[in-house]
Structures are given as C-alpha cells and as structure tokens.
Structure 1
Amino acid sequence: MSHLCVSIDKLQVGDFVVRIEESTGYRLKKSGHIGSPQQLVALKDAGVASVWIDPAQRLHTLIEAAAAPQLSGAVDEPREEIQGSVAKSRQFYLKAREQMADFYSLVSNGGIPDLDVAQKYASTFVDAALKHPTTLACLTRIREKDAYLMEHSLSVCILMSLFASYLGIERRLIDKLALGALLHDLGKVMVPETILMKPGRLTDAEYEVMKSHVVHSTAILAEEKDIPPEVMDVVSNHHERIDGKGYPNGKSAEQLSTYARMVSIVDVYDALSAERCYKEAMPPTKAMRVLMELAGSHFDEYLVRQFVRCMGVYPIGSLVRLKSKRLAVVVALNEESSLRPKVKVVYSLTSKSHLPVQNLNLMLSKDSIEGAEDPRDWGVEVSRYLSTS
C-alpha cells in the first residue's frame, strides 16, 4: 500500500509517520510511530497541518504503540519556556507569581484580570506539562508559606495541567482547564484576612464567609465576555463533592463534569501538602492517602486512582526510607515502575547524619523503598534538593 497524506486531525496513536507535509516549526528527525496522545498534541501545537503515513505499518493497540520506536522530531521553542532545569524554571514561576499578585490586587480594587495575559501564563505551564513534567512537578514543592494564595493558584494550575495531560485530554481543552485552575481562587480577596489566615477552627459564621469566595470568583469572571464554559466550570465547582455535600451549591455527582471532579482533587491535594503560616505541610504521600480515603465520597474514585498514577505512589518531593537504611528525596518518576523512582540520597539512618548527595535511579539499583518518612522528623529540607534538579 502506498503512503497516504492525512490531516493532523485524522492522525491517530499507532500511525506510522513517514514525513511532515506542513509545519511552522516541527522538524522530523526520523520516521516513527505515534506512541501517545501527548505526541499528537505536540504536533498540533507545532503547527503541523498534515503528514504522510504508511498504513501498512500502523499499530492497532496502545501497548504495541508504546513499545514501538516513536516519532522523533524537534519543535522551535515558544516565546517563554520552562526548561528542564528547576533552578532556571523557577524564574518563570516567580514571574508568574508576581503576575498573580497583580491580579489579586486588581480584583481587590474592583478590577478584572486580563484573561489573555492569564492564558499566556497558564499555557506556558501546559507546555511544560507536555515537555518537562518532572520539572513542573518540582516547582509545586518549592514553596514560601507567606505567599500561599498566589502559589496555591499556580500549583493548582500546574497540577491540573499535569493531570489533564496524563489523562490524554486534548491540548485545546487543557489550556482552558489550566486557566480556570489559575483563577479559581480570585474571590478570596473578598474574604477578610482574619478568616483566611485564622490558625484555629473557623466558626460556622466564619466558614460561611470563607465559602463565599467561590461565588465571588464566579462573579468576577462572569464580567468577562466570551469566557469559555470550561473555565467557569472549574472556577464555580472546585469545592463541590460527588456526595452532594460540597459548596456553594451542593451539587450531586451527576451534575459535576469530569473537569470539576479533577480540579476538586488537585485543589485539596495542594492545600494539604502546602505549608501555611498556621500549619506545616503534609508530606505528599500522606496527602495522597487522604485523597484515597475520601475517594468515593468527596472525590471521584476512578479519578483519584488516576491522579495517584499521574503523581506516583511516592510523588516528587517525598522523603523515602531505603532498604539500605538511608533517606532519599524523590526527584523524578520512572514510568516503568511507580515504586522505583529516581531519588537523591541525603541522610544516613545508621549514623543519624546528612550525607553527600547521591543521585540514584532505583530502577537500576538493588536498593528499594521501604516506606515514606516525614522530613520534619529528620531535619531534611526537601526543597533544597529539588531546586537543583
């Protein structure tokens, strides 16, 4: 059978691409199979309009596609790029945090944020979710407790981008979901700081005021013309629960979209694992356990399982205890096994002392993880080891 020219919208996972017909930036290094939905997204984002395929070499299962040599190409870098280095990428993150601070200040004075500007930042995080997911995940673990409101918005945006990418959602929709996640808490500027920052349990009256932030967020964005419904879905439903006991509207499961169910998971995960001025951060592994305990009541059980697979049994930033009686910080996941990530060995349990940092890929080592540890118990500052990944 001869080669066929197909539009990018007709291209599927498993197709064998011979050459690019049209592109504004993608350069094909060698022919190969489309092995994942993310590759399709990357081609579309690069401006590829059509490709030539060899129908005779098409693979018909996802397992075959994942195992086969995949399409190899290069894409021109976007205007602003989150690089593979966490230290370098942190600069863009800090710039985005400043922009979020400006948005919150604008809203507190009755203004409306520029959605085009917000989308630019959100889309850059989506780019990184597709190209540098490990780097992006590291950024969510390097936090400052005094900047929680802005950093929570950024982290929920990042986590939503990673999660949606993992689920194979098309790029056009991921951009909208990321935007909604970035802006989901704008209404908190309408909540008194005494309530937002209260260290103890909120009274019933204070809790009602706190819950009003969702209504405020929705109202602020409703002022924008032609705002995508997916953005409003994420913003207005991020505190709803599938058991109908969420807020502000107590929606039941059948009233909640997949996107609303996704953002409720990532929002709580980030809130649990972030340090606040009045509480210490929960280790990522413990935050994951909380999500799993609430799966089926608060959260969609299937999506919680998928989120755990996306982030890993031992998420990036976890402190783990190795069989060799050493402690290590998880710095990257291994797709082949969620139980054998890449780590930095930092502490000896035998000598009760810090060690020179050793990079270790547990897929290639006889050492293994025995369990998770709380960094506070051992005086380990996890972010220190992630900022140089």
Structure 2
Amino acid sequence: MRLVSLDRCEPGIKLGKSIYNENGKVLLTEGTELTKKFIKKLKKCNVTTIYIEDEESVGIEVVEAIPAELRWEAVNKITEGFKTIAELDSHRSNIQGMMKSGRIIRSFQKIFKDILNDLSENQRTLNLLATTKIHENYVYNHSLNVSIYACQLALENGLPLRNIEEIGLGAMLHDFGKVFVPREILNKPEKLTKEEYEQVKLHCEKGFETLRKVHEIPLPVAHCALQHHERMDGLGYPRGLKEDQIHKYAKILSVVDVFDAVTSSRVYRPAMLPHKGLEILFAGSGTQFDRKQVQLFTNCIAIYPQGLTVKLNDGRVGIVSKYNFGSAGRPVIRVIKDMDQQEVSPYEIDLSEKDNLAIEIVEADALM
C-alpha cells in the first residue's frame, strides 16, 4: 500500500483505505476501483491524497497514528469548539452559556484522551503525516496536528498523565485567538503588511484573555495560547520571554507548532519537505527552541512514513518501505522508476548508508 497525490491517480487504480468526508460518512470504500467520476467526486470533496494498492507497494505496511474516523471527529469538534467559545466570550455571566462551554471543553478532553490512547498503544514512531487530507481549513487541522505531535512529545518527556492531558488541551486551543483575526488576513496569498502582521500576532493575547475566563480550562492551558510564539533567546512574542521564563508546555508547543506550520501547504506558499522542517528546528536549537525538545521530537516522528511515494535528487522514484530510527530524513526506499522515469523491477536503497548520503528526497507530492 502507498500514499499518493490524487492528481497523479488514473482510472483503474484500487483504493487501499476507505475515505471519509468531514461528516464521517464513507465517500468510497477500501478496494474500490477508481473511475474518472470517482476521482472528480473526491476532488470536489477536497480530498488531495489517497492510499492505493498496487504491485509496486506489495508488502509495505502503512500504520496511521490516528484512525481516519477519529481525525474527522476531532477536527469537527475543534471547529465547533472554537466558534462556540468565541460566541460565549461576551456572555460569561450567562449560566446557560457557561454550561455550554463546559460541554465543549469536556468534548475536547474526550477527543484528546482517545488520541492519547491510540498513541500509547502504538509503540512505533509517530506516523502522523501518512494520512489522507480531507478537511480544508488550515487552522483547525493545524490545531489537531499540533495536539497529536505535542502528545507524543510529552510522552517522550515521560510526563505524568495530568500534564500530558493539559498539554493536549493546550495544543488544541493554542491558536484559538485566530478566530478574532480577519479571515482575509489569515488567507491572504501575498506577504502581509506590517499592520496586518501585528494583527496576527495579537492572536496570542486575545486567545489567552478569552480562555483564562473559561472556568473549566486550567490556567496552564490558557498559557499555551499566550506563549507558543515565545523563543528561548527572548526574540519571540508577545512578551519577549526567554529560557526559564517560558512555561514548559510552551517549550514543547513551539517546536511542534513550527514543524507542522512549515510542512503544511498554505495559500501563500507550498509545504516544505519534512526534513527541511527539521533543519529549521535544528538551526534554532538552543536559541529559538529548547534543545532537548528538538532532539526528542526528532526521535519520535517518522517524517517520511512507510508507503509515501517520493522522488530522489537523481531522478529516481520510489516508495518509503522502512523507517530508520535515529535518521529521520533518510529512510529505506523501494525504487520503482529509474532516472529516466522508466519502470524498473523494484529494488531497495537505504539512504542512511554511507554510500547513499549524496542521495536525498526532493519531492513527496502527497505531503505538498
């Protein structure tokens, strides 16, 4: 099985995993043979990547960290929760409103506990990126991804359950303040003006001020919204905190927030390849980001998950067949096309081996 861009799919391809829409309904079931009509339908539903079964990927096991059903449920809960809390913000004295906010927070906590259970049971390296992309709203998808990454990183830190649950909730709500930023600014394809950027930066304080008034939200969770853009050298915002002034939760969030942001496609730029995202973290390790958290994150994430179709810098095309622990950006590749894009009998190369260090991944369209 492998993960491919829907744009590269031709009629006759066999679907490897069922696809759900944003309401949890099955669009197409596993094993379906794609037709032009089905491909058009998937594109209309904002599906950009799918799993397929073919001869080249036989024997390659794909394990998603989070089941598709849980992902769409989580994104919908986050979407609903952000809007509800924003609407209730000016009506805190309303008892009915307070009860509604309590239900929202409990639903967030339940979703996170389900995510935590899945990650705790999965002893493999986190394979978040190998997932079909369905939901089109960046902020809500990003909030879920950061929550999953943060949960795994908190587990790597060996933190107590109570702390992990707070970090997970804080990660889900870290960008809540963006509901107060005009959508035309968030979705602007051109570079922001200085004034527009200042409006975006206010999402940290606006999110904190709202969340800290919600009785059911612990104060450290609200601080996740306030501090996730603070940096170890004091050059972050909104308060310019440095080193030990920054809450331990925010040190975890700043790492995973940046990684997911740069490796996600936006209206103003394409997604960065995952190993390039890690390079940004390593470049800022000890100055912008906590060095320990960067290293732990590298240890717990499969940035090129099994089943991903990739292109190498020498022109060859292959499928990631095995993840190399301790060498995040250099997996084992099952080559299926040569330098001239001609199909070949599949063979494997290990990018972590000394003789292959000059070879690197330059394209992974299912992640772009």
The question of whether the paired residues in 2 share the 8 Å contact of 1:90 and 1:139 is answered with: no
The Cα shift of 1:179 comes to 0.9
Residue in 1 that maps onto 2:251:
261
Query: 1-side partners of 2:153 and 2:298: how far apart?
Result: 10
Query: 1-side partners of 2:138 and 2:169: how far apart?
Result: 18
CA deviation vs aligned residue, 1:286-338 (integer Å, no higher than 9, x gap): 01111111222211223222222222586776947499x74444466344765
Residue in 1 that maps onto 2:162:
172
Query: 2-side partners of 1:166 and 1:183: how far apart?
Result: 21
The question of whether the paired residues in 2 share the 8 Å contact of 1:320 and 1:371 is answered with: no
Higher RCO (Cα < 8 Å, 6 or more apart): 2
Query: 2-side partners of 1:268 and 1:340: how far apart?
Result: 21
Name the stretch that deviates more: 114-123 or 221-230: 221-230
Query: 1-side partners of 2:283 and 2:147: how far apart?
Result: 24
Query: 1-side partners of 2:330 and 2:360: how far apart?
Result: 13
**Residue identity matched to 1:103:** G
CA deviation vs aligned residue, 1:18-52 (integer Å, no higher than 9, x gap): xxxxxxxxxxxxxxxxxxxxxxxxxxxxxxxxxxx
CA deviation vs aligned residue, 1:93-116 (integer Å, no higher than 9, x gap): 011111112123223433547211
Query: Which residue of the other structure, out of 83, 88, 91, is the alignment partner of 1:110?
Result: 88
Query: 1-side partners of 2:326 and 2:280: how far apart?
Result: 25
The question of whether the paired residues in 2 share the 8 Å contact of 1:96 and 1:121 is answered with: yes
The answer to whether structure 1 residue 94 and structure 2 residue 72 are counterparts is: yes
| Distance change in 2, residues 1:328/1:234 (3 Å) | farther
The Cα shift of 1:170 comes to 2.3
Could you list the structure 1 runs, at least 4 aligned residues long, displaced by more than 6 angstroms after superposition.
Answer: 358-361
The answer to whether structure 1 residue 290 and structure 2 residue 280 are counterparts is: yes
The question of whether the paired residues in 1 share the 8 Å contact of 2:322 and 2:331 is answered with: yes
| Distance change in 2, residues 1:361/1:119 (3 Å) | farther
Query: 2-side partners of 1:290 and 1:318: how far apart?
Result: 23
Query: 2-side partners of 1:87 and 1:294: how far apart?
Result: 27
CA deviation vs aligned residue, 1:60-90 (integer Å, no higher than 9, x gap): xxxxxxxxxxxxxxxxxxxxxxxx8539811
Aligned with 2:288: secondary structure?
coil
Where in structure 2 are the equivalents of 1:1-389 lying within 5 Å?
Answer: 85-86=63-64, 89-110=67-88, 112=101, 114-132=104-122, 137-139=127-129, 142-143=132-133, 146-311=136-301, 319=310, 321=312, 326-330=316-320, 333-335=323-325, 341=331, 345=334, 347-353=336-342, 370-375=358-363, 380-382=364-366
* Number of residue-to-residue matches in the alignment: 294
Aligned with 2:88: secondary structure?
coil
Larger Rg: 1
The Cα shift of 1:229 comes to 3.6
| Distance change in 2, residues 1:134/1:201 (3 Å) | farther
Aligned with 1:146: secondary structure?
coil
TM-score (norm 2): 0.68
The Cα shift of 1:185 comes to 0.8
Name the stretch that deviates more: 256-265 or 100-109: 100-109
**Residue identity matched to 1:242:** M
The question of whether the paired residues in 1 share the 8 Å contact of 2:201 and 2:238 is answered with: yes
Aligned with 1:249: secondary structure?
coil
Aligned with 1:86: secondary structure?
coil
**Residue identity matched to 1:349:** D
How large is the Cα RMSD of the aligned pairs? Answer: 3.5
Aligned with 2:188: secondary structure?
coil
CA deviation vs aligned residue, 1:143-201 (integer Å, no higher than 9, x gap): 35832111100000011011111222222211111111011111101000111111222
The question of whether the paired residues in 1 share the 8 Å contact of 2:273 and 2:367 is answered with: no
| Distance change in 2, residues 1:231/1:272 (3 Å) | same
TM-score (norm 1): 0.65
Name the stretch that deviates more: 216-225 or 305-314: 305-314
The question of whether the paired residues in 2 share the 8 Å contact of 1:138 and 1:331 is answered with: no
The question of whether the paired residues in 1 share the 8 Å contact of 2:275 and 2:328 is answered with: no
The question of whether the paired residues in 2 share the 8 Å contact of 1:319 and 1:327 is answered with: yes
Query: 2-side partners of 1:203 and 1:143: how far apart?
Result: 30
Aligned with 2:138: secondary structure?
helix
Query: 2-side partners of 1:203 and 1:134: how far apart?
Result: 43
Query: 2-side partners of 1:128 and 1:332: how far apart?
Result: 21
Query: 2-side partners of 1:300 and 1:332: how far apart?
Result: 29
The question of whether the paired residues in 1 share the 8 Å contact of 2:231 and 2:243 is answered with: yes
Taking every aligned residue pair, what percent have the same amino acid on both sides?
A: 29
| Distance change in 2, residues 1:359/1:97 (3 Å) | farther
Name the stretch that deviates more: 138-147 or 163-172: 138-147
Query: 1-side partners of 2:309 and 2:262: how far apart?
Result: 14
Report which of the two has the higher share of strand. Answer: 1
